[in-house]
């Protein structure tokens, strides 16, 4: 992680996590070292703006994402999308555009969709 970030435009922007460090209630001890870059506002409730932001990030940093995917010691590169499931919601359709899926696939990354339970009053 440090070796990659030393020559990356993401140095100083990426949030880093160290293996063995104390995390939070959901992940008390980190099993892997990792880095995270927020490419969409954390309070975004809808999928489409998150996908658009991730696609813009991919288009801007295509070469850097490809470098990360092939960097020695990197096991996975993920684009994480988050949604809040409200109690009165019967169904939440999730549709990802072909251009987004192609861009993610072309660099060798994956897409993870996290659906968080919500009471409709307090979100992240």
Q: How far apart are alpha carbons 54 and 79 in whole angstroms?
A: 7
pLDDT digits (tens, 9 = 90+) for 17-47: 878 777 676 667 777 778 889 888 766 667 8
Mean pLDDT of 77-98: 84
Predicted TM-score (pTM) of this structure: 0.78
The predicted structure's pLDDT at residue 88: 79
- Res 120 pLDDT > 50: yes
Of 3-7, 62-66, 83-87, least confident by mean pLDDT is 83-87
The predicted structure's pLDDT at residue 92: 77
Does residue 82 contact residue 94 with C-beta atoms inside 8 Å? no
Per-residue confidence at 124, pLDDT binned at 50, 70, 90? very low
Per-domain boundaries in the chain:
1-37, 39-124
């Amino acid at each position: 992680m440090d070796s990659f970030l030393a020559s990356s435009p993401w140095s100083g922007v990426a949030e880093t996590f160290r293996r063995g460090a104390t995390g939070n209630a959901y992940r008390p001890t980190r099993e892997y070292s990792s880095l995270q870059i927020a490419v969409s506002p954390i309070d975004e409730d809808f999928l489409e703006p998150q996908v658009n932001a991730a696609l813009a990030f991919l288009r801007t940093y295509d070469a850097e994402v490809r470098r990360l995917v092939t960097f020695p010691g990197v096991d996975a590169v993920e684009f994480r999308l988050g949604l809040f499931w409200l109690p009165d919601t019967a169904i939440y359709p999730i549709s990802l555009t072909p251009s987004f899926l192609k861009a993610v696939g072309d660099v060798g990354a994956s897409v993870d969709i996290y659906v968080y339970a919500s009471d409709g009053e307090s979100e992240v």
